[in-house]
Amino acid sequence: MFREMIIPLIFGLALFIFGMKMMELALQAWAGPVLTKLLNTVSATPLKGMVFSTAVTALLQSSTAVTVMTIGLVNAGLLTYGRTLGIILGGNIGTCLTTELIALHISSFGLPLLLLSLCIWFAAVVLHEKLPFRLQKHASLMISTQHAALAAAGFSIVLTAIAWMQSTGEALQTYGLIDWFTKRAESSILWGVAAGAVLAAVVHSSAAVIGLAMGLAAAGALPVPLGIAVVLGSNVGTCVTAVIASIGGTRSGRFVAWSHIVLNVGGCLLFLPFIRELGAASAWMTSDASAMIAHSQTLFNLLSSLIALPLCYLPVWKRLDKLA
């Protein structure tokens, strides 16, 4: 049991988080400074902030990174609280790109992509060191290439981790753990929500938890409705990072963190009675269990953000800016 199930699960999850962080840091180094300035420029209205934040989060592959960046800007007085609401909503939408890419089942390309990206990174490092003085103006291109290659390497590690986690499906079924969990979830789907929330809070990544659920669903070890419940819970658990980032900050920064919690918990409670409907809508788009979970996450975050968007235009947020 330990060798067949626990080691691959722990190793796969750790590898997934490492790949995500590697990709996130590389992309932040590549485009982060520019995006930080743009966040303040394009968040004049909640809609503009949501659209831009969706693109930024899709680029950085981390809604947590965007939320923490936003809290930092608010604490520094560079961004008002009212402008952050659209950014938070867009972050929830943009983070879906990771799971949608995983749903394409391109795990077999993980190792070749890792080798290719590392070769490109090594070549960029060597060229950067060997550039003659007259070509130093191209140094920034070499640095950008290094960051892009490391981001691709991080994504390839994520794909490899998914394959590791999928390999535990048969063992989970053999030892009856999935049956035990499923029977309890039949009496209350809150088991799945709680599991997703706790795991996401522990590993500080909703994508990692959803990736785990997708891997188990692909192996036939996790029912789709239970996987969707895990998705809803993971969106709640990922708020912990924002709360930690707000500790010791300004009142406005704490407002941002708690708004993140309210929006995510509110969305979870709103769609909790409609898990089967989310599954049915996802099944209309695909018959693949793993892709159904990815599509349900996209539908959930997109609909939740669009429902909450009109609330971001209420004048009360401007009054809160004055109080803060």
Q: What average pLDDT does this structure show over 244-257?
A: 75
**Does residue 37 have a pLDDT over 60?**
yes
Domain ranges for the chain: 2-323
| pLDDT at res. 144 | 75
Q: What average pLDDT does this structure show over 185-199?
A: 77
**Does residue 166 have a pLDDT over 60?**
no
Separation of alpha carbons 293 and 196, rounded Å: 13
**Does residue 48 have a pLDDT over 80?**
yes
Q: What average pLDDT does this structure show over 275-295?
A: 87
**Does residue 227 have a pLDDT over 80?**
yes
Separation of alpha carbons 95 and 104, rounded Å: 16
| pLDDT at res. 2 | 54
| pLDDT at res. 151 | 75
Provide the whole-model pTM.
Answer: 0.70
Tokens linked to 123: 């070549």
CB atoms within 10 A of CB 45: 14
DSSP-based three-state secondary structure for 104: coil
Q: What is the pLDDT of residues 99-133, one digit of tens each?
A: 777 777 665 666 777 888 888 888 877 776 766 65
Q: What is the mean pLDDT of the chain?
A: 75
**Does residue 283 have a pLDDT over 80?**
yes
| pLDDT at res. 212 | 77
Q: How confident is the model at residue 9 (pLDDT cuts 50, 70, 90)?
A: low
| pLDDT at res. 207 | 77
Q: How confident is the model at residue 154 (pLDDT cuts 50, 70, 90)?
A: confident
Q: Is 66 buried (19+), middle (13-18) or exposed (0-12) by CB count in 10 A?
A: buried
Tell me which of 177 and 112 has the higher pLDDT. Answer: 112
Tell me which of 294 and 318 has the higher pLDDT. Answer: 294
Q: How confident is the model at residue 139 (pLDDT cuts 50, 70, 90)?
A: low
What's the Cα-to-Cα distance from 89 to each of 125, 129, 180, 194, rounded to whole Å?
38, 42, 36, 22
Tokens linked to 13: 């999850």
| pLDDT at res. 88 | 84
Tokens linked to 81: 């609280």
- Tell me how far apart the 2 most distant CA atoms of the chain are, in Å: 71
**Contact of 271 with 89, CB cutoff 8 Å:** no
Q: What is the pLDDT of residues 53-112, one digit of tens each?
A: 888 777 766 676 677 777 767 776 667 777 788 888 888 888 787 777 777 766 566 677
| DSSP states along 3-66 | IIIIHHHHHHHHHHHHHHHHHHHHHHHHHHHHHHHHHHHS-SSHHHHHHHHHHHHHHHT-HHHH
DSSP-based three-state secondary structure for 72: helix
**Cα–chain center distance at 193:** 17
Q: For the chain, give percent helix, strand, coil, nearest 5.
A: 85, 0, 15
